[in-house]
Copies of this chain bind each other. A is one copy, B any other.
Amino acid sequence: MMQIDRLIRAIEEKGNPTALGLDTRLEYLPPSCVREHPGQPASAVRDFNFALLDALKDIVPSVKVQAAYYELMGLAGLACMTDTLTEARRLGYVVILDAKRGDIGATASAYSGAYLAPDARTSVDFMTVNPYLGSDGMRPFIDDCRKTGRGIFALVKTSNPSSGEFQDLMTEGGVPLFARVGDKVSEWGEALIGEEGYSSVGAVVGATYPEQGAMLRGRMPHTFFLVPGYGAQGASAGELAGCFGRDGRGALINASRSLICAHKKAGTDDFVSAAREEALRMREDIRRALHRN
């Protein structure tokens, strides 16, 4: 089965196009969680992640795990990342590893081999990749997607304040760089379109740039978008509506800090209830915005 089809069906089943972003930093945990594992931050993060995964499994269809925060904790952190990915898959989530890897062909094969290949040591359903090196750097990932039904999301237009510095540069023919990258991403994905009409080769498109998002949506009808930037990064549900197609499909909205730090905003240690409440609020918020669209 193609994971892109599974993702789309899971979104529809739960009526919720969102991903729980596990960008878990120790500072985000309630003090009580940290105290339970003195001197073992990675164990505290694992317990926290496992509790959130269990709490949101009936509401949220997908999980995005940000590799950087686990690398920061060294080998224990990477073990925690592997455990989190495994637990998320066990609970039925569609699992995305946000690692933004990218290298020349031979080396890209090794990154793909680690996470996407049939014999990957740590299997994920999707992985984010950086396309700056061009087609031959993407080819190993795409070949593994073909073999396994897994997928990638390539950076096209990122959500950060200076994303326009290179991505918005105008190229020949009056086409900005991000749109040219988008066109290539479309092309890479052409042979991998699933039953639901979207390709295993997706794109990362930041919610913080609604105009560019809408432009890319029009330009890439068969490309599924992974959309960061909602909530803590400042984009509202109205702003991300343009990333969806007219059928209300085609995008997955990631929320990290707004979910994992919901307990801080609520002034409680009960992070499970706070995250559930915020996940339900977010689902409603996005539903309403898509209805207005």
Q: Give the interface of A toward B (CB within 8 A).
A: 23, 25, 66, 68-69, 71-75, 78-79, 82, 100-108, 110-111, 113-114, 121-122, 130-137, 155, 158-167, 169-172, 177, 180-181, 184, 228
Contacts and interface: CB of A to CB of B under 8 A. Distances in A.
Given A110-B72, A133-B158, A160-B137, A103 B101 contact: no
A66 B107 contact: yes
B110 A69 contact: yes
A163 B103 CA distance: 10
A79 B72 contact: no
Contacts of A113: 72
Copies of this chain in its oligomeric complex: 2
B110 A167 contact: no
12 contacts: A23-B106, A68-B107, A68-B114, A71-B111, A72-B113, A74-B114, A132-B166, A132-B167, A166-B177, A166-B181, A169-B177, A170-B171
Contacts of A72: 110-111, 113-114, 121
A104 B98 CA distance: 12
Contacts of A74: 82, 114, 121-122
A207 to B, nearest CB: 12
Contacts of A165: 134-135, 184
B166 A180 contact: yes
A213 B162 CA distance: 26
A184 B169 CA distance: 13
Given A71-B111, A104-B228, A105-B160, 14 more contacts: A23-B106, A72-B110, A78-B78, A100-B103, A100-B130, A105-B161, A130-B132, A136-B161, A137-B158, A166-B177, A169-B171, A169-B172, A170-B171, A171-B177
